[in-house]
Structure 1
Amino acid sequence: MSKVLYIKANIKPEGESRTFKVSDSFIEEYRRLNPEDEIITLDLYNEKIDFLRPADLGAVFGPKSEESKNHPILKYAYQMAEVDKVVIATPMWNLGAPAIVKAYFDYVSVTGITFKYTAEGPVGICKADKALIVSGRGGDYSSEIGSQFEMGERYLRTILSFFGIKDIKSVAAENLDVVGVDIDKILSDTIEEAKKIAKEF
C-alpha cells in the first residue's frame, strides 16, 4: 500500500478551479485503480501556512526530536518525507505559482528531514519516488517561446528533485484564457491525459 500526498493550492472555491477539475479527476481515477492506497489531501489555503518568522528559525534549523513531528511547521516536512508519492495541483499565477506554494516549500525544505548536506553537496532524503504536477494556464507556455516564461512547474520540478524524487511528470491545461478557444474540450483532453498517467503512477 502506498501513501499519496495530494497538495492543492488555489484560492478559488471548490468546483470553480479548472486546475482542480483535472487533478481531482486524476485522483478519482488513481483511487479507482489503487483502492488500497491512502490519499492524504492537503489544501494549503485551509492550513495555517504563513511566511517564516524569526521565531520559527530555531525549530527549522535547530536539533530535531520525536516531538518535532508535531511541530506546527516541521510537521509538513515530516509528512513530505514519509509519503510514497506526491501530487501537486496549482494554477499558473503571474508566470509562477501562488505565493502560498513557495511559503509551503519554505516549511518543507528542512535539513535532516527532506534533504541533507554531505561532503559532495546536498542530497534529497524523501521516501517518495514519483510526483505529478497539475496546472491550469491562461496561455501557451509549452511552446519554445512560451516555456521561457514558465516558472511554476520549473520551480516545482527543481525542488522535488532536490528532495530526491526522480520520476516527476506533469500535465497542464493551457490557453484557458485565450478568447475563442473551446475550454471544455481543453479540460476534457487534459483530464484524459491525466487519467492515462494515473494508470502507471
Structure 2
Amino acid sequence: MAKLLYISANPKGAGKSKGMQIGEAFLASFLASQPDTEILKIDLFDFDMARMDADLISARGKLAGYGKSFDELTETEKEKILKMHKLADEFIDYDYYVFVSPLWNLSSPAVLKTFLDNLFVTGKTFVHTANGPKGLLTGKTAIHIQTRGGLYTGMPMEALESGDRYLKIALRFLGIEVLDSVIAEGLDAFPQKVPEIVADAKTRAIAAAKEMARIPVEV
C-alpha cells in the first residue's frame, strides 16, 4: 500500500486556510485515483519536533564531524538527536509528500523550516561523496501548495520569493522528485477575486494530484 504524508503549516486550520482548502481538493483527487493509499496529516503548528538549538547542533557535530559515538553524547544531546532521527525515519517511510503553506514575509512559516531541518541526517537521507552530497530519498515524489497575498510569478517580486524555492531545493537535495507547485497568489491584492483565485488553484491541484497518482512507487 502506498503512503502519503500531508504536511500543513498554517495556524488558521482547514476551516479558514485557503491553502488547506486547496490541499483538501488535491487529496480528494488523489484518493479518487489511488483509493487504497494510506494518508497521514500533520499540522506543524501542533507537532512536536526537535529544534536546531545548541544541544542538537553539538550532537550532530560530535557524531558526524568529530567521529564520537552516541554513548559519548550528553543525555540531553542523546534525547534531541534521537528525536530528530525518529522524525527522519518516519518521513522516509512515505512515498508521496504534500506540503501546504502560505508565503509569509517572502518565505515559509518558521515551523516548516524547523521540520525540514530534521530531515537532513547524514547516512539516512543523504551522504557525502567524492562528487559532493547525494540524496538518498529517490523514488519518492513531493508537491507544494502555496498561497500568496501578493503577485510574484513573472513580476519583479519573483526573485525575492524564498518559501517555495527553498522547499523545492531542500527536497531535491534529498533526492525527492518535486512536481510543479500549485500557487494561489494575489489573495490580498485582489480580495474581490479570492473565490476565483481559489477555484482556479483547486482545478490545478486536482490535475496535479492525478499526475502524482500516476507516478509508480515501490511498496
Alignment length, in residue pairs?
198
Partner of residue 131, structure 2: 120
Q: 1:33-182 alignment to 2 at 5 Å?
A: 33-49=33-49, 51-57=51-57, 60=60, 62=63, 71-182=82-193
In structure 2, runs of 5+ residues without a counterpart are 64-68, 71-78, 213-219
Contact 1:116–1:123 under 8 Å retained in 2: yes
Normalising by structure 2, report the TM-score.
0.83
* 1: CA distance, partners of 2:191 / 2:97: 34
Contact 1:175–1:181 under 8 Å retained in 2: no
* 1: CA distance, partners of 2:59 / 2:40: 25
- Say what the alpha-carbon RMSD is for the aligned residues: 2.2
Q: 1:50, CA displacement in angstroms?
A: 5.1
Partner of residue 73, structure 2: none
What amino acid sits opposite 1:81 in the alignment?
I
Alignment equivalent of 1:197, drawn from 182, 185, 208: 208
Higher helix share: 2
The C-alpha deviation readout for 1:92-123, integer Å capped at 9, x for no partner, is: 00010001111111111111111111111100
* 1: CA distance, partners of 2:58 / 2:157: 41
* 2: CA distance, partners of 1:180 / 1:101: 26
In structure 1, runs of 5+ residues without a counterpart are none
The C-alpha deviation readout for 1:14-45, integer Å capped at 9, x for no partner, is: 31111101111101221122111111212111
- Structure with greater Cα Rg: 2
3-state SS of 1:108 partner:
coil
